[in-house]
Amino acid sequence: MRSSKVRKRKSPENRSGRGRLRAAAALSVTAACALLAGCTGARRTGEGDYHETLDRLSRSVVELTASPEKSRIEGLIAQLRHELPARVAGEEAARRTEEERRLRSLARAVELSGLDVGFATEVKDWTGDGASDGVQLYFSPVDNVSDAVKLPGTLTAELRAQATFGRGRELDGWRVSPEELANSWNEALFPSYVLRLPWHGPAPEPGRALLEVQFEPIAGTAKQTTVLLEVPRPGSAQEEEK
């Protein structure tokens, strides 16, 4: 007589445990792919997204019974957490590099014809104490059809006393970085950069002054223009309102 082997059927608990292991392993592979291989898709992935994935994975693994596969998954989670800061920093640096490349390409494609300073540019009293606090500047780079163009670049402005001959003495000066300019664009009826340029010391003496404005795009030729401003005497604004 042939002896027949009796196969033991796996219990539902064993099948369920192995199923959870397979699910946890699959999730760990997904997390590893996202973190180590950079396959995050078109959406920008932040450090919080990674932590959320790893926390969800840890909660799944902790319920599993001890096994070599569970140990491997826990080791992978530890590796991912260790390498997370460097990966996120690398992605951020790559994003900034790509954004700068795109902006430089845009700047090269747009040929600026000049610089337009808005009619609302003037010396302002922002605190309401009767003394001027600085210059409120509205300006926009313009293309060859006189349309305002938002471009990354650096702004330099100098306020000089009006002189009969040559350039007058410098009263104040400012330099605005591309990062600061990026946050000052105003999409209004007349799109332009809007900047507050505060005095670096006491307000200049009342009288006429020339504001020399230069905009240097990150790619292309710098453009400049000059406008005439009036530095009011202290308290003149309140007197006009009475």
Band the pLDDT of 28: cuts 50, 70, 90: low
Q: Are 97 and 119 part of one and the same domain? A: no
Digit-coded pLDDT (tens) for 41-72: 434 455 666 777 777 777 777 777 788 877 88
Q: Are 173 and 222 part of one and the same domain? A: yes
214/225 Cα distance (integer angstroms): 7
Structurally, the chain folds into a number of domains equal to: 2
pLDDT of 67 reads 81
pLDDT of 109 reads 60
Q: What is the token pair recorded at 33?
A: 């792919």
Answer yes or no: are the C-beta atoms of 207 and 160 closer than 8 Å.
no
In a domain, 68, yes or no: yes
105/83 Cα distance (integer angstroms): 33
Average pLDDT rounded to a whole number, residues 130-143:
94
What is the extent of the structural domain holding 218? Answer: 112-241
The residue type of 106 is L
Digit-coded pLDDT (tens) for 184-222: 999 887 899 999 999 999 999 999 999 999 999 887 789
Q: Are 41 and 116 part of one and the same domain? A: no
pLDDT of residue 40 exceeding 50, the answer is no
In a domain, 5, yes or no: no
In a domain, 230, yes or no: yes
Q: What is the DSSP letter of 44?
A: P
pLDDT of 26 reads 53
Answer yes or no: are the C-beta atoms of 147 and 213 closer than 8 Å.
no
pLDDT of 218 reads 81
Q: Are 178 and 141 part of one and the same domain? A: yes
Band the pLDDT of 75: cuts 50, 70, 90: confident
Place of tokens 């790893």: 54
Q: Are 19 and 135 part of one and the same domain? A: no
Q: At what angle do helices 68-109 and 47-62 cross, to 10 degrees?
A: 170
146/82 Cα distance (integer angstroms): 53
Q: Are 44 and 69 part of one and the same domain? A: yes
31/40 Cα distance (integer angstroms): 10
Q: Are 119 and 130 part of one and the same domain? A: yes
Q: Is 128 left (phi over 0), alpha (psi -120 to 50) or beta?
A: left
Q: Are 45 and 99 part of one and the same domain? A: yes
Averaged confidence pLDDT in the chain: 78
pLDDT of 74 reads 80
Answer yes or no: are the C-beta atoms of 152 and 107 closer than 8 Å.
yes
Burial 15-52 (b: 16+ CB within 10 A, else e): eebeebbeebbebbeebbebbeeeebeeeebeeeebee
Q: Are 87 and 142 part of one and the same domain? A: no
Band the pLDDT of 121: cuts 50, 70, 90: very high
